[in-house]
Structures are given as structure tokens and as C-alpha cells.
A and B are shown apart, each in its own frame.
Chain A
């Protein structure tokens, strides 16, 4: 693990609850780890599973999705839709060999700045223990391996053919 590993957590926050909670944490000057990169969406229901996979594929060490508490969605039930997708997504991500701690969904209401602080710090600590995910690097390695193997095989074929 590299020294001073600062994880990158890509965060999707819904405009009405979690994004506002993050604003509140700011206004209240609650300090937390500078590890999140927030994408604002109007509703957590907008979070397409592809966003999450794309984030991991492009080097995120973790993905955090924040929405309103059940029953509190500004759009009535977008967070329930997210929840359904999230359950499947979690299995998919696990089957890719990504540790479950790296994908987290939290209900954080507009008044819960403190909770946001806690969640980010907790998740950062967990991911620091796990180390970098480095999926892009791994992809490159796999590609090279694949390429070399094929290359070796071709050479063998050529050699035996002669």
C-alpha cells in the first residue's frame, strides 16, 4: 500500500437531503476527511448502476450514495427505487471481487450534518484499511497478461508449425 494513501470516494448526493446535509456540515464547520468527490443529482433515484460501475472502473476507491430517509423523498419514492437497485448492485459489485465496504448507501436527511461527517470518516477509515482498489491499473495488467499469453501461444504455434 502506498504511503499516505488518500482514498477517492465518489459520492452521489441527492439535492434535497444529503447534499443539503453536506452543506449544513459545511456551515457548521464540521471537519471530515477530504476524500469525497460529490456528484449532485436531484434524487438518489437518478443514480444509474452504470454510474457506480463507471466510477470503480475509473479509479474510485469507494462509492457513497446518499438519499433521503424512507418516506421522506422529495419525489415521494425515488429512494425506494434506488434501494431496489442497490441490493442488486451490491451483489454484482461483490461478484467482481470488490469488497462490500467500498460501496455504501446511506439515508442522511437535511438536518443530519453530523451523520454525514460520521459516515464519510467511517468509510474513509475502512477504505484506508483495505487499501487502493486500483481497478484501472488492474485492467491494464489483465490486458497485458492476456496479450502476452496470446502472444506466447502464437509463438508456440509458429514454432511447432516449423
Chain B
């Protein structure tokens, strides 16, 4: 094979090779000079040099200068992962005056120096990989990125504080926002909280103004009681289907007077009130809470007599003078097109039943933290009176930290917010009941503005802090003082002995978990999960709200446990990232799509059913396959399957890959 004639045209292939020290990150394990010396001996390599930080401005300038100086027409950089800096070096290549796709990157940091210890073997591997790249880059071609316009609208999935903040930010920037919420109201978990730590702001006071702003914003379309069922397309051009579940109310007619609720045949609630953590009952026709947005009632088909085929006079319907109640309502589907998506689907509190030794569900006065939020809330089931199931006030309360967190039997991670909310609840319970409060903790973690100070304040208020993971809660007394109470058994690891502390009320500081359907949602939006099940950001430090799918961003606890300030900050970041995408106005499509060389295609149709994006069709007239470059996403599955080698994938051509394979295996 004549190397001189291969490539874009007939010109001689002139390769420049640049290897990066990355400080000592690479050079500490790999002998970069030796690799550079070796590569210099390979055919077509005109210049081969090493540099301390190739990604720096000076490093990039060196590449540009060398391209000009040595009339290079190919560039290979051996440094970190292409997922990190491929864009940087392609841009440098372009600045040198050659097409950016005459570039290839060799990953000798993440796949080399960071994972190997033997200097000789790591250097050998780096040489092999460099040789593979040198061989493949000869066959690179000039490619152009296609531009597609970006739709000027955004979908926000989830109406908790994250979704609310992201939606408002973008709507205020003048973008059209579709906010889809699964529950009948937005507000999420934050709406259930009484106060927020460490300032003790009333959660409702700071949240509900934002909720009503969402409800009335001209740029926001709010679909509550709805779910995204399908999403297709690509960055800048997503086609979304939203299912709107029937709430049996004509939304355009209901004014939120709530007369129907008063007139329901059930005079008191007949079903558990989810918003109050099942501590009270609600009627089948209901509004989740007073400040719900949208202010529309909903009828719960599981609890309504009429919707269950029972006999009912339907007094709710007759009470509505606007005839807004419609028992015949069916689910409907909305189809929208958006440029970007923000996933803000939140978390699930750990199910305390999974720690049976703490007696949740067995002893009536063992509560989860979220239940206590409702108990201390003045709009909660008891009007803010902290009373036990028998109506009495607790004289002593035990708060167990880390329930379902930092625990190898359940979840290993720290849920980040429990220490602080436990302190907050300790303060509120003391305020409401003047009880003795015992905090049972492993470590108190208070990293945040004003958090440590709040912890100190709690200590000064006379709360007890006992360091040790609670063994169990028992109702078996051994001394008279324990009779009729729950006893917390714990090894006090500071005092060095086992203690039994009788209490009247136990609060379980349950951790945060991915939602049950997180995996389903992940697949729907084509994003990844980390091993514990929270959605995976593109980079833990530098791309914390992006995902591996362009145009899909993350906000809030669906990405991992975080408190309200962090959630709001992240939601703002996700909104900003979406705005960048929308305001640039176009996306550049990677050119690694596939195409058919007609003269080799026999029209066998093998490729047709392989394409999940229906990008391949058959030109019946010519009897050949045709690939639509707009629909092709560049996976290369059809290329691998074509029996006559008629399909080529840009940047992943057979001859490029074969050259790479063969050279990788030559023993240097």
C-alpha cells in the first residue's frame, strides 16, 4: 500500500505527534520522551514532541505552529481521555488550517498512567496505542459538521423546587417552558416541610410565591397530574409525548372554589391523605393542600364511589355551578417539540419498614421524619400539635439518624440532609413539646453556610447527643421507669457502654433514595444511572448538570441527595445550560454518520431492520439502500452487518479500524 497517496487527496501524509506529560499525571508513570522518540521513527511522522501541559494555551499554540511550520496534515495527541479534550485539540487542529477531523486522540492517562504501575509496561502500552493512532489517522478524511436549528422551548420534568426554579429561570429569560408534574399539584417534597434549616424559614412562605408564579407565568405551560411517556429526536429537536391523566375536572371551568369538596357524600375523609403522610384522611374529591398550584380539584378514582361503579348521588357534580365535574374524562396525550429537557424528578424517602428493628409500623409512635414535618406544621393533620397516637404529648423523643443511610444492609451513601433536618426537627419538637430530645448519631455532618452554628445552637438548647448506631427499639422493660414506653438500645460509643433510653416518641431520620421508577425514566430519556440508582452527570466536577445525552440536563435530588440551597443552585445551572443551547440557536451534529456506496450495495436489505432510528430505506428504483444522514445517529451497527462492505461510517471506517487493530498488535 502506498502511504503517500492515501488520505484526503494525493498529497503526502505528514503527521505531527504530541504527547502530554499532564504534569506528573502521565509522565510520572510513562516515559513520554521514549514514546515521542519511538513515534518519530514511524512512517509519515514528521514531528514528534512532548510537552508539560498540551491542553494549555501554549500547548495548543505549539500544535498550531507545528502544523504551519512542518506543513502537517494530520495530528495525533496522546494525553487524557478524548471524552475530556478531543474538542480542544480538534479546535487547535482547525486553527492550524486543517480540517479538525484529521485529528486523533490517544488516551494514555485514564487508560494508561492512572491504572498501571509498571513503568516499562505502561510505556510499552502507550507506544502501541500511539502506533495504532498513527496508522489510523492516515485514513482520516475531511468532514463537515451539519448544523440543525434548536427549538426555542424547554421541557421540565418534575415540579418540585428544582423543576419550579429551573422553569421560572427559563421562562423569565423569555423561553417557552412545559412543566410536567406527576402529582395533582407542584411543590414536591418541599411543600410538605414545615420549616427549612438552618434559618427556620417557613417552607410554605418561601415556596408558595414561586408556585403561584409558575401557575400564572405567560411563558409556562403547566401540566400537572401528567407524565412524559415518550421522547424521540435529538438535541435541539426533541419530540415529546405527555400523558395527561384524567382528574375528572374540566380544567378550564374549575375556578377552585372547592364547593364540590364540601358537598361530597363523604362528610369526612375516607382515604389516606398522601400529602399528610397518611396521618389524616381526605375525601375522594380533594385538593392536596390549600396553596396547591394549579388550584384545581381532582377526583381520586380509587376512592370515589361513583367511579368504582357504586351508587352515589354525585352531589359534588350538582354542587358545581360551572358543571366542571366530568366523570367521563379519559386520559389524553399532548405532543410537543422542545429544544432541551431538564429532568428534575426528585427522590423517594427511604422506606422505614426496611429497618424492622426500629419498629416502624409496629409501634404506633415511631414516625418518619417526613411524618413529623407534617405533625409540627400548623397546616398539618393536628394543626401543629405534636401529639402521640393516644393523644398525649411526648415527654421524651429519640431521633435516630442515618436510617437507611451509611448502612451496608440498605444504602451505603450518606443522604446529606438528614443531620441537618434532624437538628431542625429536634429544635421544633422541643419548641412544641418541651420534651427531652435525644439525637442518636454516627457522625454529625454540618457542611454548609450557618449549619455548624445551628448545631451549636441546638447543643446550647439542651438537646442530648448520643454517638452510636441504635441497635433496636424494644417494648420490653427491665426497670419500672421503662414500663409502657419504647426503649432505645444503643451502644454509646463515646461513653463505651450500652445504654437503654426510654422514650415516648421515635423519629426515624430516613435517608434519600432514587425513585422506584428511576430506571424506567433513565431509559426513557436515554441517560445513565450511577450504581446506587441516581442519575449520572456527565462529569462529577465539570459537567454536574449535563448527561451523556446532549440537551438533557439534571436538577435536584434525582442526581443525588442534596439540600434546598444546592438544589436551587443546580436548577439554575441546568436552566443556564439549556439557555446556552437555545440561545446559540443551532447544534452541530457530529459527522460520524454512515453512508452507502451505491456501486457495492446489492440491495439485500440486511441493514434495514437493524436501524433503531429507521434511518435506512431502500431506493426501489436503484435497488440500493439509502441512509438519511439527519436520522442516522452514528452507531455503526449497519456497517458491521453489511455483507458487501457497502456501508461506511465516517471516522469509524473499516480501513481506519483495521489499520488501528493491526498496528496495535505489532510488537514495538
Q: Which residues of B contact A (CB under 8 A)?
A: 81-83, 107, 109-112, 114-118, 121-122, 124-125, 128-129, 132, 523, 526, 528-531, 536, 548-549, 592, 610, 612-613, 633-637, 639-641, 649, 652, 654, 657-658, 660-662, 664-667
**Cβ of A22 and Cβ of B636 under 8 Å apart?**
no
**Cβ of B610 and Cβ of A51 under 8 Å apart?**
no
Measured between C-beta atoms, what is the minimum distance from B612 to chain A in Å? 4
**Cβ of B636 and Cβ of A38 under 8 Å apart?**
no
List the B residue with the shortest CB-CB distance to A120: B115
- With A26-B81, A46-B639 known as contacts, the answer to whether A37 contacts B110 (CB < 8 A) is no
B654 / chain A contacts, CB cutoff of 8 Å = 48
**Cβ of B83 and Cβ of A19 under 8 Å apart?**
yes
**Cβ of A39 and Cβ of B664 under 8 Å apart?**
yes
Among A16, A58, A81, A109, point to the contact of B661 (Cβ < 8 A): A58
List the B residue with the shortest CB-CB distance to A112: B531
B661 / chain A contacts, CB cutoff of 8 Å = 10, 39, 51, 54-55, 58
**Cβ of B662 and Cβ of A34 under 8 Å apart?**
no
**Cβ of A42 and Cβ of B114 under 8 Å apart?**
no
The interface on chain A, measured as residues whose beta carbon lies within 8 A of the other chain's beta carbons, has a size of 52
Measured between C-beta atoms, what is the minimum distance from B298 to chain A in Å? 33
A25 / chain B contacts, CB cutoff of 8 Å = 110, 115
**Cβ of B637 and Cβ of A54 under 8 Å apart?**
no
Q: Among B523, B637, B661, which residue has the most Cβ atoms of chain A within 10 A?
A: B637
Contact mask for chain A residues 1-21; partner B; CB cutoff 8 A; 1 contact, 0 none: 000001010100001110110
**Cβ of A23 and Cβ of B81 under 8 Å apart?**
yes
**Cβ of A41 and Cβ of B118 under 8 Å apart?**
no
**Cβ of A37 and Cβ of B636 under 8 Å apart?**
no
Contact mask for chain A residues 30-70; partner B; CB cutoff 8 A; 1 contact, 0 none: 11111011111111011111010011001110000000000
| Complex CA distance for A23 and B660, rounded to whole angstroms | 20
A22 / chain B contacts, CB cutoff of 8 Å = 110-111
| Complex CA distance for A48 and B526, rounded to whole angstroms | 25
Among A31, A33, A37, point to the contact of B665 (Cβ < 8 A): A37
Q: Among B523, B536, B612, which residue has the most Cβ atoms of chain A within 10 A?
A: B612
**Cβ of A59 and Cβ of B107 under 8 Å apart?**
no
| Complex CA distance for A11 and B531, rounded to whole angstroms | 23
**Cβ of A54 and Cβ of B633 under 8 Å apart?**
no
- With A23-B81, A31-B115 known as contacts, the answer to whether A43 contacts B635 (CB < 8 A) is yes
**Cβ of A110 and Cβ of B536 under 8 Å apart?**
yes
**Cβ of B121 and Cβ of A16 under 8 Å apart?**
no
Given contact pairs A43-B635, A55-B661, enumerate 6 new A-B contacts (beta carbons under 8 Å). A34-B115, A46-B636, A46-B640, A74-B635, A76-B612, A110-B548
| Complex CA distance for A139 and B654, rounded to whole angstroms | 23
- With A23-B81, A110-B548 known as contacts, the answer to whether A58 contacts B639 (CB < 8 A) is no
**Cβ of A111 and Cβ of B637 under 8 Å apart?**
no
